[in-house]
A and B are shown apart, each in its own frame.
Chain A
Amino acid sequence: MKLKTILMAGAMSIAATGAWADCAFENYVPLKSLSAGFEAWKAVTDAMAECGNFSASLDQEFREKQPEAFAADPALYQIGGVSNATLVPLLNAGTIRPLDDLVEKYGQDLLPNQLIKVDGKTMAIAMMVNAQHLMYRDDVLAELGIEEPKTYDDVLAAAAKIKEAGVMDYPIGGTFKTGWNLGQEFVNMYLGEGGSFFGDGNMPAINNEQGVAALETLKAMTEYMDPEYLVSDSTYVQQQFQQGKIAMANLWASRAAAMNDEAESQVVGKVTMAAAPMGSAAPATTIWWDGIVLASNMSDEEADAAFRVALEGMDSEMVSANNDVAVWLSPAYSAGALAAGAAASAEAGAKAYPASGPMGIMHTALGNGLADYLTGAKDAQTTLADIEADYITAAKEAGLISN
């Protein structure tokens, strides 16, 4: 009896301290979400939690858990956070529901831009976009009289000048960590050169001039990078920037705010966000989006509640409170200097990341195979041929290429 009283009192006090303070309605349906764990997701799920009866899992391993959790009946999570790449397995397995009726009912405030449509059906609601773009140290470049680099030739020339002037040993930073990061760097460069990844029947098509050109640019950059580049991920590059060790990097827009974080950064206000350097065809970057999906395996009432809670999570209040955390897709978002790089890249014609089943395998094969070229173990053509062979083996096993 006593325990029950205490629990009741606890519950009441949580309710009284305004758990539902900023939510337009009170949610009585128990809801759970599973998403990636970066800053923007924290802001969004915190805002969702204001509606009550909601718990969020922010999990770096969400990619592995989501397909299984959504395939369960009833689904283990009602709301999922995805990006354009992680949407693919859910879409393929048919475990997420079309949202058109819900959008019609509640989505008056959504921008048409936010509706992710597959075959005419709205399958996800995007909340933010992300892209890698050039960040550079304004003060360092200005002092040496270097203009804003527009292409990778400019970047390399600027790096050579900075090194020569003895300002920094390694002026360029890069997310070259073997695996996903390094694969992504190649994808950026290759799309910038105007290459396409696949031919007919999902056969790989990267062993060509554009592929070699992309590799050569990557290698040229490594000469101005800290020799331990094969272990450097986004966080490491961000820290190198913050500690004033590098002057230029093609880094994620979602990391831009960290440059001006006075608690961590020694270069507050000195980093300029610019468009991603141009390849010969397009900016060498890809546009990503993050957003929410709803599971198929739940009742329509639950879906109704889940959708309203999700919208509450990405409403204008949340966006204005966390304006600099991401490049939000919302009428309330005021694009500041930190978003300039992503916006400029998109304007210059940057492509969306070409997410698909085969691309997932290709990205992994690239991530594992590229290091051999950068360390000098293989030449460019052999590297690309080996990556293609690796891809074909895996794609055959996955059933994407018929034998």
Chain B
Amino acid sequence: MNYRTFAAFVGPSVFMMLLFIAFPLISVFKQSFYVTQPIYETVEKETCTPGFLTQTCVTEMVSQPKLDEHGEVITQTQYVGLQSYRNVLEPERAWRAISDGSWHVLSTINFWKALRFTLTFTLITLPLVVGCGLGIAILINNAARSIRGPVIFVSLLPFIITPVIGVLSINWLFRGDGILTAMMEWWLNRDIALFAQAWTIELLMMLYRVWHVAPFAAIVFYAGLQTVNQDSLESAVIDGATRWQRLKYIVIPHLMPLIIFVSMIHLMDSYRVFEEIVGFSSQGYVISLQWLTFDYLTPDQAGNRSISRASANSMLTMIGVVILLILPLRRTWRDHKGGH
């Protein structure tokens, strides 16, 4: 392919990637080093609010932003260096907690609390997703050809459901006296409150994530199973290999690149865990890094947002994803190099 044709093919997508991925990223990166804030002045103001029969008026000193002649709020943007990162990470408090050996205190600092959950969530769901995915794929592959279609459809269903809806339905099934909680209570004959402590909520979240993502892994593995060398399988059978040995020595090594691919996608996705927190409204017990960014961005009643801390936190989240991906990427890269 000559250069012009290549450029014409690749050009649009490079442009889109620059516009929608690179530029926003650079802008967020820049914002994390600056703080933009209105300039406040303190004035005495009388405010009257309705009581039941008469008005109550109070006069007090209030801070209000200065407006310019067009009625726009005057803002100033300041370079603050790593201050926003410090505000997110709270290194002094974290260090004090670590040097006291107090894990407990560390886990009450927002960022570290979120990091702890995000990492546990990611690392525990990873093997479960790969395992369940492989299991479902083998199940589909062994199903009779006549029922294979329906089986694929049913096993793909969880993946099709919109994440927020999925989370909410799990929430409603288990919350308070939800159907499943009520059933468990009847069965175990004791009162169960699944949303009253952190670990049960975390367990439900992981359960949901595995249920949701395993079909994706399954469909990828199923595709891979179609290309397993049948001759090797047959000769293994002749050599008297058990089902387990065939799986371990032929199928899994064959699927390895796909397993790494699925793991990488899953690491990236689950490190950005968010829907579960919102859907379970678990902020009181469990928060994730992505939720923290969202929380910084949400304006309060008076309209204040923490854009700089949100930017810093999302940069930190991205760095986390990159670190997590280094291991599987190194492996792929080595395999790739070895293959040539």
User: What is A's interface to B at a CB cutoff of 8 Å?
Assistant: 63-64, 67, 84-86, 88-89, 91-95, 112-120, 126, 129, 169, 177-180, 182, 202, 226-231, 236, 287, 289, 296, 329, 343, 346-347, 352, 355-361, 363-364, 368, 371-372, 374-375, 377-378, 386, 393-394, 397-400
Q: B306 touching A394 by the CB < 8 A rule?
A: yes
Which positions 267-284 of chain B face chain A at CB distance < 8 Å?
A: 280-284
B243 interfacial contact with A, CB 8 Å = no
B182 interfacial contact with A, CB 8 Å = no
Neighbouring A residues of B39 by C-beta, 8 Å: 399
B245 interfacial contact with A, CB 8 Å = no
Q: A67 touching B303 by the CB < 8 A rule?
A: yes
25 contacts between A and B (CB under 8 A): A86-B301, A89-B302, A92-B38, A93-B73, A113-B54, A119-B45, A129-B50, A169-B191, A178-B283, A202-B63, A228-B176, A230-B195, A230-B196, A231-B281, A329-B50, A343-B52, A356-B63, A357-B40, A357-B302, A364-B304, A368-B110, A371-B283, A377-B107, A397-B84, A398-B304
Nearest residue, chain A, Cβ from B86: A393
Q: A231 touching B195 by the CB < 8 A rule?
A: yes
Nearest residue, chain B, Cβ from A88: B302
Q: A84 touching B176 by the CB < 8 A rule?
A: no
Q: B50 touching A94 by the CB < 8 A rule?
A: no
Q: B87 touching A393 by the CB < 8 A rule?
A: yes
The CA of A326 and the CA of B312, in the complex, are separated in Å by 44
The CA of A84 and the CA of B48, in the complex, are separated in Å by 10
Neighbouring A residues of B298 by C-beta, 8 Å: 64
Neighbouring A residues of B285 by C-beta, 8 Å: 230, 371, 375
Q: A92 touching B52 by the CB < 8 A rule?
A: no
Q: B64 touching A357 by the CB < 8 A rule?
A: yes
Neighbouring A residues of B52 by C-beta, 8 Å: 129, 343, 346-347
Neighbouring B residues of A64 by C-beta, 8 Å: 298-299
From the candidates A63, A119, A169, name the one contacting B299 in the complex (CB within 8 A): A63
Known: A92-B73, A112-B55, A178-B281. A117 touches B304 (CB 8 A): no
From the candidates A178, A202, A346, A361, name the one contacting B300 in the complex (CB within 8 A): A361
From the candidates A91, A355, A360, name the one contacting B304 in the complex (CB within 8 A): A360
11 new A-B contacts, CB < 8 A, other than A231-B175, A358-B302, A377-B104, are A67-B303, A93-B67, A115-B48, A117-B47, A119-B46, A179-B283, A228-B195, A230-B196, A357-B62, A368-B283, A393-B87
